[in-house]
Amino acid sequence: MKVPLHIAVTGAAGQISYSLLFRLAAGHSFGKDQPIVLHLLEVPSAMPALEGVVMELNDCASPIVRSIIMTDDPFVAFKNIDHAFLIGARPRTLGMARKDLLKVNAEIFSTQGKALNAVANRNVKVLVTGNPANTNALIALKNAPDLSPANFSSMSRLDHNRAISQLAEKCGVLTTDIKNMTVWGNHSGTQYPDIHYATVRGQDALSLVDDNWFVNNFIPTVQERGEAVIKARGQSSAGSAANAALDQMRAWALGTPDNDWVSMGVLSDGSYDIEKGLMYSFPVTVEDGEIQIVQGLNINEFSRHRMRVTEDELKQERDAVKHLF
C-alpha cells in the first residue's frame, strides 16, 4: 500500500479548480493507485462555496482520496505537503494583459511562499498557475529561501499543449504524432512557441509547413489564445488550464518519456544565455522528479530575437516586484 501524497490546491473554489479537483481525485497526476490527501485553500468569503465543492468530491467516492482538509490559512494548507497547485489568484478580463494582474496578485505569492518555506515538505513541488504565472512563481520562490529553487515551476504546459494542437491540426495528424515542441519565455503575449526542433511522425516540422504559417499564424495564435478564449467565453480558460496543470504536475512527478520533452517555467541557470534568476519557460526533461533543461539546441537569429523579447518582459516584471523579494 502506497503512502498517501499530500496535495495542496489554492483557489479551490474557483473555476480552474472545479475542473482540476475531480480529475485529481481520479488519479490523473499521480496514478490511479496513489492515495492522496487534499489540502484545499480559499479566502474566507469563498469557504461556503468550497464546502459545496468538498461535498461533491465526497460524492465521487474516490478510491484514492483519503481525506480532505479545508482552510483559509496557508500555514495550515501547506503543512507537510508534497505537491502544491497554486491556482488561487484573480483572472484578467478582456483588454487586460496578464502582467496587469501583478498589482492584485503578487502579494498572494509572497505570503504563500513564506508559508511554504515554514511548513511544507522540503521536497515539495510547487506549480504556479495564477497569473502572471512566471513572476508569481519567482515571488513565491524568493519568499521561500529554505527551499531549493528547483522546488518551483511556473505553468507553460497550456501554451505547450496549444502549440501541439495547432501543429497537429495543420499537418492533419494526431497530437501524439508531435514530439519536441518548445515554448520559450513568459506565459504572455511575448512567449515564443518554437517548432524548430519539433517533429511530426519523425519528420522535421518546419519541412512540412511554410515559414509564413509558422511566423504569421502559428506563433500569434498560440501567443493570443488566452485572450481569444476570454473573448469567446467571457471568462478565462479553465478546463484547458486545469488539464495543463495536471499534465505538468504529472510530468514532474512521474517523468517525461525517453523520446520527448515538455516546456516548463523554471529558474534560469543561464542556459541559452537567458539571464540567471528569471522564471523562464525552457524545454525540459524530468527523471526521478528532477527537471533538466534540454541542452545543446541550435538557436538561429530569428529565435534569438524572440527569446530576448520575452526575456526582456520577464526582467521588467521582476523589477516591478523586487520589493517583495
By CB under 6 A, name the binding residues for ligand LMR.
91-92, 98, 131, 158, 226-227, 229, 236-237, 241
Please give the size of the binding site for ligand NAD, defined by CB under 6 A. 28
| Cell (9 digits) for 236 | 478565462
- The binder of ligand NAD chosen from 129, 135, 153, 223 (CB under 6 A): 129
| CB-nearer residue toward ligand NAD: 161 or 199 | 161
Instruction: Point out the residue whose Cβ comes nearest to ligand NAD.
Output: 14
Grouping H, G, I as helix, E, B as strand and the rest as coil, residue 274 is coil
Instruction: Establish if 126 lies at the interface with ligand NAD (CB under 6 A).
Output: no
- Say which entry of ligand NAD, ligand LMR, none residue 139 contacts (CB below 5 to 8 A, set by partner kind): none
Catalytic residue among 39, 187, 305, 323: 187
- Of 131 and 135, CB closest to ligand LMR: 131
Catalytic site includes residue 39: no
Q: Is 87 in the site for ligand NAD (CB under 6 A)?
A: yes
By CB under 6 A, tell whether 14 contacts ligand NAD.
yes
Between the CA of residue 271 and those of 157, 175, 258, 268, 274, what are the distances in Å? 20, 28, 21, 7, 6
- Contacts to ligand NAD from residues 146-185, by CB under 6 A: 155, 158
Question: 167 CB contacts (<8 Å, ≥6 apart)?
Answer: 178, 181, 195, 198, 200, 205, 209, 218
Binding flag, residue 89, ligand NAD (CB under 6 A): yes
> Judging by DSSP bridges, how do beta strands 279-287 and 5-10 pair with one another?
unpaired
Nearest distance, CB of residue 226 and ligand LMR, angstroms: 2
**Nearest-angstrom CA–CA distance, 11 and 17:** 7
The residue among 201, 243, 82, 93 whose CA lies nearest residue 147 is 82
User: β-strands 203-204, 199-200: how paired?
Assistant: antiparallel
- Closest to ligand NAD by CB, 35 vs 185, is 185
How far apart, in Å, are the Cα atoms of 207 and each of 116, 195, 200, 236? 46, 10, 10, 34
- Shorter beta-carbon distance to ligand LMR: residue 18 or 302: 18
The torsion region of residue 94 among left (phi > 0), alpha (psi -120 to 50) and beta comes to beta
Q: Does 11 bind ligand NAD (CB under 6 A)?
A: yes
| Residue type at position 317 | E
| One of 5, 70, 178, 238 touching ligand NAD (CB under 6 A) | 238
Going by C-beta distance under 8 Å and a sequence separation of 6 or more, which residues neighbour residue 224?
A: 189
| Nearest distance from C-beta of residue 242 to ligand LMR, angstroms | 11
Helix or strand run (H / E) with residue 35: none
Residue 46 sits in the site that holds ligand NAD (CB under 6 A): yes
- Taking the complex as a whole, the smallest distance from the CB of residue 15 to ligand NAD amounts, in Å, to 4
Catalytic residue annotation: 187
Task: List residues near ligand NAD by CB under 6 A.
Answer: 10-11, 13-16, 41-43, 46, 87-92, 108, 129-131, 133, 155, 158, 187, 236-238, 241
